[in-house]
Structures are given as C-alpha cells and as structure tokens.
Amino acid sequence: MATINKRGLYQYQAIVRRAGYPTQCKTFEAKRDAQDWASTVESEMRRGVFVDRTEAERMTLGQLLERYRDKVTPLKRGEAPERSRLKRLIAHPIALQRLARLRAVDFSDYRDERLDEGASNKTVREELLLLSAVLNTASKEWSIPVENWVCHLRKPAAGKHRERRPSADEEQKLMTACKESKSEGLEFAVVLAIETGMRRGELAGLTWAQVDFSNSVVRLVQTKNGEGRIVPLSVKAEEALRALRVPSRATNCKIFSFYDSNGLGAAFTRACRRAGIQDLHFHDLRHEAASRFAPRMAAPSLAKIMGWKTLQMAMRYYNPREAELVALVRAAA
C-alpha cells in the first residue's frame, strides 16, 4: 500500500510497503509525480517484476569502482596496471554520478574527452573495457540493478599492431649501450629476450631455481596467460645465463637485480636513448625472437615456445623483413 506524505513546500514523500519486498521511499516536488511513481512500484510488485533500485540510486560510479578495486582487481595477474586505470577513472567527474542516473551519453562523452586529451585508441579501449567489466560484475555478481551502457558504445578503432624490429646496426649499438649501463645484467636480459622470446616480466622475476642447465631449459611456473611454459635455451642464451651465475647465491634468488618489469623497461629505454635508437620497446624484442624462429619451425612449435594459446598470434608476432621474404621465396624455387 502506498502512502503520500507532504513534508514541506514542494516536498511529497511516497512510501510503498508490501509483504515480501523492502520498503520503497522517494521524495518528489509534485504530488502527482509521487503518486505516479508509487503506482508504478505497486504494479511491478503485484506482477512480480519489481527490482529494488535503492542501491543503484544511492551508490556512485566511484564507489562501485572502489569496490571492484578492493574485491576483484587483487585476483588478477594484471593488478598493477588495472589499479592505475581505476585510479584515473575514480578521479574523473563521471565517478560522481549515481549508478541509476548513468546513461550511454555519459560514457561516450568520457570516451571523446579522453581521445581529445591525446590518449591513444588502445588506452581508451582498455578503460572502456574495464568500465564494462565493472558494470557487468555489479549486475551479475552483486545484484546491483545497473545497465551496462558501455557495451553498446562505439569503441575507438584498434591500432595496427607493431612490427618494429631492431636492425643489425641498432642491435650492435644497443648491446654496447647495455654493457655501459649502470643497471647490472641489462645486456644479458636483452640477449635472453632476443634468443628466447621471454617477456619483460618473466625475465625480471626469473630465479635460478627456474633454470635447468642439465636440460638447457627455463621452466616458467606462471606466465601472462596464467599457465606455465618451458623455454628452450639456445647456445647463446645458455652462455648468457652461465655468465651471470654466481655459485654462492641461493637457487631461489632472482637472476636480475631489477625491482620489477618496469625497472627493466626503464633501464632498456635509457640504453636506447644513449644508443640513439628511437621507437624501440622492450616488447619488440619478443617480436624479433618470433620472427627469427618462424622460418625454422612449424607454427604449433612456435606457439608452444612463445606461450601462445592460438596460432593466430604467430601472424601478429612474425614480422619478416622484405629481404627475408625474398630469400624464402628463392630458397623454395
């Protein structure tokens, strides 16, 4: 049964009570609006389709993002970058909006604003995907009646994947700069990246316990895709690891002194700057490794070595140079 109470000038409070449902209460400026709202709620309760929107009306997007950050993000391997994206979203004015008042235009305006600020398409896509995941979690797991408007939005076009590989001259200059670096072991990390295709995070966290010299492999317990991987060592890769080996160190010690993958990446960037090399990322070395492996082995073997779950990744990482393609064609002739 609905009750309409006048609480002051232009203040009409509608209260709906019905057995089996939480009490619903909302204040309006006009009595007719209060009566219409109460009638709608009563009708939905009678038909068994009522959804309690109280939590969505009280909670802001910022509060939802904080809840996701505290409960869901710590369970992910990419916790650090996701926390960074959530921090930006929580600081944005859109986070002040009540969940029940959010509309598609709020998110499309956010998308356009971020693009106008100079954020890359990839960055904006990742932020929108994160917002979509947060809203889906709120609806499916936390029973908060909120619409996922983000899934209906036009996303920025996915950028063309990188095909940057160091030239022979750049590789020589890079190795010279790495040898002169104050970051101990940087040159060996670069050699291992090129020779094995290991990721920056895998190298930064590598311990001696994972290295099996007797079988010439590195055993990665957990990788980016959540699974372990066996990394076979080339002769050059094994020589690099043996040059780093200190017998007195415990097997559970890290091989490199970098605090984390960001530390390794920063040291690599400084080395590139000293060598005068532009637009070369550490991850490009993984492309270099795949491009060297690809002509010499079948795609399934390449995927196994690189830790890919699909063979399509081979097309993304295999970036042959023109001269290499010409050589392949003439060798097959």
Instruction: Check for a shared fold between 59-152 and 168-332.
Output: no
- State how far the Cα of 240 lies from the Cα of 62, in Å rounded to an integer: 48
Question: Tell me, what's the pLDDT at 32?
Answer: 87
- State how far the Cα of 306 lies from the Cα of 72, in Å rounded to an integer: 28
Specify the pTM: 0.70
Q: Where are the domains of the chain?
A: 2-50, 59-152, 168-332
Alpha carbon 228 to chain centroid, angstroms: 19
- State how far the Cα of 31 lies from the Cα of 17, in Å rounded to an integer: 18
Range from 71-80, 132-141, 237-246 that averages highest in pLDDT: 132-141
Helical pair 261-275 and 168-179, crossing angle rounded to 10 deg = 110
Instruction: Please report, as a single letter, which amino acid is at residue 78.
Output: G
Angle at CA 59, nearest 5°, toward 54 and 65? 140
Question: Tell me, what's the pLDDT at 106?
Answer: 94
Res. 260 pLDDT band, cuts 50 70 90: confident
Place of tokens 């995907």: 129
Cα dihedral sign, 252-258-259-264: negative
Which residues lie closer than 8 Å to 132 by C-beta, 6 or more apart? 148, 150, 151
The strand pair at 24-28 and 11-16 is best described as antiparallel
Instruction: Indicate if the pLDDT at residue 146 is higher than 90.
Output: no
- The whole-number average pLDDT for the span 208-222 is 90
CATH (residue range 168-332): 1.10.443.10
- State how far the Cα of 228 lies from the Cα of 212, in Å rounded to an integer: 15
CB 233 within 8 A of CB 196: yes
Question: Tell me, what's the pLDDT at 224?
Answer: 79
**Residue 78: helix, strand or coil by DSSP?**
coil
- State how far the Cα of 211 lies from the Cα of 267, in Å rounded to an integer: 23
- CATH fold of 59-152, please? DNA polymerase; domain 1 (1.10.150)
Give the whole-number percent of the chain exceeding pLDDT 70.
Answer: 96
Give the whole-number percent of the chain exceeding pLDDT 90.
Answer: 49
CB 16 within 8 A of CB 42: yes
